[in-house]
Amino acid sequence: MMSTDIQTLKSLDLFADLNFGELEKIASLMHMMKVTEGEVLTRKGEPARTFFIVLSGNFMLSFKKDRSFTLHNKGNIIGWSTVVTPFQYRGTAIALTDGLVLSMPGQEFLRLIQSDSTLGDKIMRKINKIVSERMPYTTGTWKD
């Protein structure tokens, strides 16, 4: 695992609104991780222990009843359940190709968000937007 630099974080939509000091706090928790094709990052129903941000590669998130979608853009997140109750993964995430992700221990991420309200508000606003976009896939309730 390699440490994460501030410029990499600043280039990601999730952290685009953060100042240098806030980025430093995030960088101290994040690690770059190589993933291999077929590697499982999360399993539906398991405790959400790790938060991931895609840097490269393709990933499939699958949910109940054969619902799934793929993530293939830099900055896509996996494991938002680390900061949203009940802190269990909503889907299973599998690497479809080799790639790179940033990983962060979920409890440390949650602690940081809870201890710094300004930082927490900025990040949770973005995460809530992502959650609302993905909810139809996780629940099967599409709006036509």
At the topology level, CATH places domain 2-138 in Jelly Rolls (2.60.120)
Check whether 140 has a pLDDT greater than 80: no
Q: Domain residues of the chain, as ranges?
A: 2-138
| Residue range 59-97, pLDDT digits in tens | 999 987 778 889 999 999 999 999 988 999 989 999 999
Query: Is 50 exceeded by the pLDDT of residue 30?
Result: yes
Please report the pLDDT score of residue 135 as a whole number: 74
Nearest in space to 35 (alpha carbons), one of 101, 104, 103: 101
pLDDT of amino acid 142: 53
**Average per-residue pLDDT for the chain:** 90
The more confidently predicted of residues 64 and 100 is 100
Greatest pairwise CA separation for the chain in angstroms: 43
